[in-house]
Amino acid sequence: MAGNHSQAFEFFRVKPKNIRWSWSGRSVDGSTVAVRLWQDRFENGTKIYRSWSSDKPGEWKSRPGFVELIENLVHARDHLNGIVSVIILIAKDKKAAPRSIDRSFPHPDLKMRVVELDENEGTFVLERID
C-alpha cells in the first residue's frame, strides 16, 4: 500500500493545504481528518503519539504544516470526537534533522483520538483507539 504522499491523503479522501509541507488533511465535508505520524515515534507500541519536545516554544507557529496540523486536531477534537485517521511515515534517516520521508502509507486500521491539545504551545497527545 506504499505510495506517494498524495495517494496516502487521497486514500482517506482528505485534502492537505500543500502536498509538500502538510502534516495533515481534512475532507471537504469536514467528516475526516488524517494526520501523518513518524512510525518510530510512537510510544508503547502504537498506543501513544505525542508532539515532539525538540521544538522551541512558539517556533511551531512559523511552520505552516504544523499550524495546519494543530487546526485539524482542533477540528477533530471539536467535531469528530477527537478521532483522526493515520498516515504512517518512514524516515530515510531517523537521526536527521529535519527528517526526510523514505515512504508513507495509509494505515486504515489505526485510529487515534486527541486526548491532549494545547493550541497555544502547539503540543498534543494522541491515543490509539482499540
Range of the domain at 47: 5-129
Query: What is the tally of structural domains in the chain?
Result: 1
pLDDT tens figures, 10-69:
999 999 998 888 999 999 999 999 999 999 999 988 899 998 766 566 677 788 888 999
Grid coordinates belonging to 86:
493515520
- Of all residues in the chain, what percent carry a pLDDT higher than 70? 92
Mean pLDDT of the 100-105 span = 90
The strand ranges marked E within the chain are 24-26, 33-38, 42-43, 48-50, 83-91, 101-118, 123-129
Q: What is the mean pLDDT of the chain?
A: 89
